């Protein structure tokens, strides 16, 4: 079983669907392979055997690895720099599709019936990540799959899935002072109330089109002169931008007697000619002041990293999250997605803790170049360990290690 899981993982970690085939050839020719030396795989299983076995494995069995990496990062102080408003950890939630087909499906697929009579089967997943303003990294946490739930007549939704995630992990993250970030889909009273009941804070995108009552109050507060507004000039490269902040506290999120009172802020960025470059607004439970509104907005804006640094990377930077590596009848598709996300997380971990890995990534022009080199090297040469392969690459690129790392 260990060989099967590690074999599937190795394909995502090396970003090569043919990795196992190449290692079988190497093993037959030389008696050793990188599957054995780099991944401790004793016997390389066939692709069909991997799919058959993993179809019966629930992805949650892999989740302790995510938790172990989180604890490792926390213990070694790497999470100290991942703090936003009020020194909170910032966890962004977002859903993304990881499979779609008009023919291939399993019992865990979501189903969309189109007006033209066609049907689409798909898998989607909530991919929570720790983010922070000013840092390129996004640290993946345990995913939560949008799948049909036992005892529920309605299909699963992104919000229902997000609620399951926060309920599962409140005990783990609330004590660390955590603020949840999300797009406009999440800024509804039931979800906000659940966050508060579980002990989370929140900063959520709040659009005028979906929060008409709230914005009526914003306009009313502005009309009587109680809306806080200030403008600052910010140098962005060689260009000057004008940042205008507006904010107000204790506004009703909806038009009901039991409406939750939230705090609202908005940032508009213009160039010197008055053209709007950026505009967005957020609701939060953090009390907004002139001293912290910029920090709240920066924290809220960090939400985009879940799309750019996480989901987009998983889809377009070699991980090919939406590719169908195998679907199966039960859990195969979701367990392969979990292994793919886990590969990305461990690559991120290595950038923090492995000086050789970090030097190579920084020295090569792109992520693609790094993995192209890894694929070529592991196809033709057998390395005794990851350290040996990193040393070989550093020597070939004439990169000197710092004295304390030699």
The first and second tokens of residue 266, run together, are 């908005």
Query: In a 3-state reduction of DSSP, which class is residue 283?
Result: strand
- Chain length of the chain: 406
- Contact (CB, 8 A) for 244 and 227: no
Domain-embedded: residue 25? no
Domain-embedded: residue 253? yes
Percent of the chain with pLDDT over 90: 74
In this structure, the answer to whether residues 265 and 395 fall within a common structural domain is no
In which element (H, E) is residue 124 found?
Answer: strand 119-126
pTM of the prediction? 0.92
In this structure, the answer to whether residues 340 and 392 fall within a common structural domain is no
Which range is most confident: 21-25, 149-153, 360-364, 400-404?
21-25
Domain-embedded: residue 222? yes
In this structure, the answer to whether residues 292 and 386 fall within a common structural domain is no
In this structure, the answer to whether residues 308 and 377 fall within a common structural domain is no
Domain-embedded: residue 272? yes
Cα distance between residue 19 and residue 379, in whole Å: 7
In this structure, the answer to whether residues 231 and 296 fall within a common structural domain is yes
Nearest to 367 by CA among 316, 307, 303, 311: 316
Query: 183-201, pLDDT tens digit by residue?
Result: 999 999 999 999 999 999 9
Domain-embedded: residue 187? yes
In this structure, the answer to whether residues 300 and 395 fall within a common structural domain is no
Query: 217-247, pLDDT tens digit by residue?
Result: 999 999 999 999 999 999 988 899 999 999 9
Domain-embedded: residue 364? no
| Domain enclosing residue 379, as ranges | 373-405
Cα distance between residue 93 and residue 338, in whole Å: 16
Residue 154 is predicted with a pLDDT of 61
In this structure, the answer to whether residues 78 and 166 fall within a common structural domain is yes
* Phi, psi for 387 (deg, rounded to 5): -60, -40
Strand partners, 278: 269
Is the CA virtual torsion 52, 53, 54, 59 positive or negative? positive
Cα distance between residue 340 and residue 346, in whole Å: 10
Residue 3 is predicted with a pLDDT of 96
- Contact (CB, 8 A) for 89 and 176: yes
Domain-embedded: residue 29? no
Q: How many domains does the chain have?
A: 2
The total of other beta-carbon atoms located within 10 Å of residue 155's CB is 14
Residue 267 is predicted with a pLDDT of 97
In this structure, the answer to whether residues 292 and 398 fall within a common structural domain is no
Cα distance between residue 118 and residue 112, in whole Å: 9
What mean pLDDT is reported for the chain? 92
For tokens 């109330």, the residue is 193
In this structure, the answer to whether residues 89 and 229 fall within a common structural domain is yes
In this structure, the answer to whether residues 145 and 293 fall within a common structural domain is yes
In this structure, the answer to whether residues 203 and 256 fall within a common structural domain is yes
In this structure, the answer to whether residues 388 and 250 fall within a common structural domain is no
Asked whether residue 405 carries a pLDDT value surpassing 90, the answer given is: no
Query: 388-398, pLDDT tens digit by residue?
Result: 999 999 999 99
For tokens 């009526």, the residue is 216
Domain-embedded: residue 45? no
DSSP string, 324-351: -S---SSSHHHHHHHHHHHHHHHHHHHH
Asked whether residue 276 carries a pLDDT value surpassing 70, the answer given is: yes
Q: What is the CATH number of the domain that holds 219?
A: 3.90.350.10
Question: Exposure of 189 by Cβ count < 10 A (0-12 exposed, 13-18 middle, 19+ buried)?
Answer: middle
In which element (H, E) is residue 374 found?
Answer: helix 367-380
Query: In a 3-state reduction of DSSP, which class is residue 90?
Result: strand
- In angstroms, the Cα distances linking 101 to 15, 150, 202, 389 are 23, 23, 35, 39
Query: 78-108, pLDDT tens digit by residue?
Result: 998 888 899 999 999 999 988 888 888 888 8
């Amino acid at each position: 079983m260990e060989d099967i899981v590690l074999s599937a993982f190795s394909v995502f970690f090396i970003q090569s669907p043919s990795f196992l085939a190449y290692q079988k050839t190497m093993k037959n020719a030389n008696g050793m392979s990188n599957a054995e030396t780099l991944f401790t795989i004793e016997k390389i299983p066939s692709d069909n055997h991997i799919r058959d076995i993993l179809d019966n494995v629930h992805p949650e069995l892999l989740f302790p690895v995510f938790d172990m990496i989180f604890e490792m990062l926390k213990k070694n102080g790497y999470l100290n720099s991942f703090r936003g408003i009020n020194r909170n950890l910032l966890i962004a939630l977002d859903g993304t599709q990881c499979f779609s087909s008009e023919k291939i499906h399993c019992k865990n697929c979501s189903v969309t019936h189109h007006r033209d009579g066609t049907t689409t089967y798909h898998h989607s997943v909530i991919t929570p990540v720790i983010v922070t303003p000013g840092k390129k990294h996004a640290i993946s946490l345990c995913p939560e799959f949008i799948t049909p739930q036992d005892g529920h007549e309605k299909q699963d939704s992104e919000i229902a899935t997000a609620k399951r995630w926060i309920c599962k992990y409140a005990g783990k993250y609330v004590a660390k002072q955590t603020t949840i970030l999300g797009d406009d889909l999440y800024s509804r009273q039931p979800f906000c109330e659940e966050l508060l009941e579980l002990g989370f804070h929140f900063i959520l995108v709040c659009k005028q089109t979906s929060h008409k009552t709230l914005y009526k109050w914003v306009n009313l507060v502005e009309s009587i002169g109680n809306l806080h507004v200030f403008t600052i000039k910010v140098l962005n490269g060689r260009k000057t931008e004008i940042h205008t902040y507006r904010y107000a506290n204790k506004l009703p999120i909806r038009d009901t007697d039991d409406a939750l009172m939230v705090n609202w802020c908005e940032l508009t960025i213009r160039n010197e000619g008055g053209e709007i470059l950026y505009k967005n607004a957020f609701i939060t439970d953090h009390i907004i002041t002139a001293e912290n509104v910029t920090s709240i907005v920066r924290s809220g804006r960090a939400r985009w990293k879940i799309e750019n640094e996480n989901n987009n990377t998983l889809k377009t930077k070699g991980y090919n999250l939406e590719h169908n590596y195998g679907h199966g009848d039960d859990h195969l598709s979701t367990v392969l997605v979990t292994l793919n996300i886990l590969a990305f997380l461990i690559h991120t971990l290595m950038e923090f803790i492995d000086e050789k890995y970090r030097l190579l990534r920084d020295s090569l022009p792109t992520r693609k170049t790094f993995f192209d080199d890894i694929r070529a090297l592991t196809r033709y040469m057998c390395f005794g360990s990851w350290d040996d392969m990193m040393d070989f690459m550093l020597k070939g690129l004439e990169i000197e290690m710092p004295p304390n790392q030699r």
